[in-house]
Structures are given as structure tokens and as C-alpha cells.
Amino acid sequence: MAGSKAGKILLPKQTPVSELISEKPSELDISNLETTPMDEFDVMGQDIYTVDLKEWRLEISGGIKNSLELTYEEILQLPPIEKNVLLICPGFFAYVGLWKGVSLSKFLTNAILPADATHVKISGPEGIRRKTEEFTLKEVTADKIFLAYQVNGQPLPERHGFPIRLVAEDHFGGQWVKYVDKIAVIVTDAVNQSYGSALS
């Protein structure tokens, strides 16, 4: 297989996604691959969670000047981003979804991002199965990390994270947070205090 311009392995057009379950998504260029049909999508982790859209809000807080709360309808009105992204759950399944949603950069611009912000923390709903993941601001501003409300031209199914889920390009599926309802910006000092200077 030839190397792509990004330094990744450019997969041939007919590569079965089932052969990718032991590969690292960060090393693969899927430009030639077709979108996987929805009926071939599999799922891991929490797959049952129902929200009342009249009550549901996406909260954006942390080290920012303006905290925000957005309704589902307000999110749908933002400029969209749509990308084919490979999801791999190692040893179990892989598929390419056409994910449509919004860039996290749009939220952070409205929230007035501080100069010393370094990471963004994404969380699912509260409870014993609550999931939280952190990503660098560099990934966020490059739109490798974004929030999806649609997949393959359809509203995001409940089992895949409705109303919105995190799409984390180049990361394994375990870091793709479903049912996202909170975003928190982390500034340098907070990262250093919590995780040590290795992350600075």
C-alpha cells in the first residue's frame, strides 16, 4: 500500500473494513473507502439513553469567558461539517460513517477562548456510566474532533448517541463519547495541576 501525503497508509478502494479491526485509525488514510451502510454498523458501550429535547441542553463551560447553553435546534442552525471518518473498536468491528455535525471551534469562538487554553473535555450524561474524554485544542481547531447529530444522511440513532455524539478522528472508538451534554475548556494551569507537567 502506498503512503499518502499525510504520512498515513492509503488504503486501496476495495479494502474490507472488517480487516481493519486491529489497525490504528491514526495510521490509515481512508480517502478511497466507501461509507459503510447503517445496517452494518455495530455498537459498544452504552446504547440506551433517551432525552427530552425540550429540556436537553449542551453546556459549554470551564476556562472560558462566556459559558453557553445550546438547545438541539440551535445546534442544528450552526454551519455544518460533514466527513467520512473511520471508527475502530479494536478486535471487534470497524466502519466508515459519513458524520455530519458542528465544529467545536464554532462553540469555542462564541465562548471566547482564553489564550492559555490547552485541552477540551467532552462528557456524556451524568450517572454511573458517565464517560469523559479529553483532547488537545490543536485537534479541536483542526476539526478532527467534532460533534455529530447525523450519520449517513439520517438523524443520529439513539443507540449511536442521539442527540449528539463526539466524532474523534484518528482515535479508537472507546474515545468517541455518546450522548454528549457537556464541554469544558481546560487552561494550562488546570492541566498541570491535574496531570503533571508532562502534558504542558
Q: Identify whether 6 is part of a domain.
A: no
Backbone angles phi, psi at 101, to 5 degrees: -170, -140
| Residue 191 pLDDT | 42
Is residue 88, in this structure, part of any structural domain at all? yes
Give a yes or no: residue 29 inside a domain: no
pLDDT of residue 45: 85
Closest listed residue to residue 94, CA positions, set 104, 85, 106, 103? 85
> Is residue 139 domain-resident?
yes
DSSP symbols for 143-198? TSEEEEEEETTEEPPGGGTTT-EEEETTS-GGG--SS--EEEEEEHHHHHHHH-GG
pLDDT of residue 114: 67
**Rounded to whole angstroms, how far apart are CA atoms 200 and 197?**
5
pLDDT of 110: 64
The number of domains in the chain is 1
* 64, part of any domain: yes
Q: Could you tell me if residue 153 is inside a domain?
A: yes
Q: What's residue 35's pLDDT? A: 96
Cβ-based burial of 102 (10 A; exposed 0-12, middle 13-18, buried ≥19): buried
For position 76, what pLDDT does the model report?
Answer: 95
CA distance 34 to 18: 13
Rounded distance between C-alpha atoms, residue 189 and residue 199, angstroms: 11
Query: What CATH number corresponds to the domain at position 121?
Result: 3.90.420.10
Does residue 22 fall inside a structural domain? no
List per-residue pLDDT tens for the chain, 200 residues long.
444 556 899 999 999 999 999 999 999 999 999 999 999 999 988 888 899 999 999 998 876 666 789 999 999 999 999 999 999 999 999 999 999 999 988 777 666 666 777 888 999 988 767 889 999 888 888 889 999 999 999 999 999 999 999 999 999 999 999 999 999 888 865 444 443 333 32
User: What local confidence, expressed as pLDDT, does residue 197 receive?
Assistant: 33
> Which domain, by its residues, includes 126?
41-199
Alpha-carbon gap, residue 17 to 14, rounded angstroms:
9
Is 94 among the domain residues?
A: yes
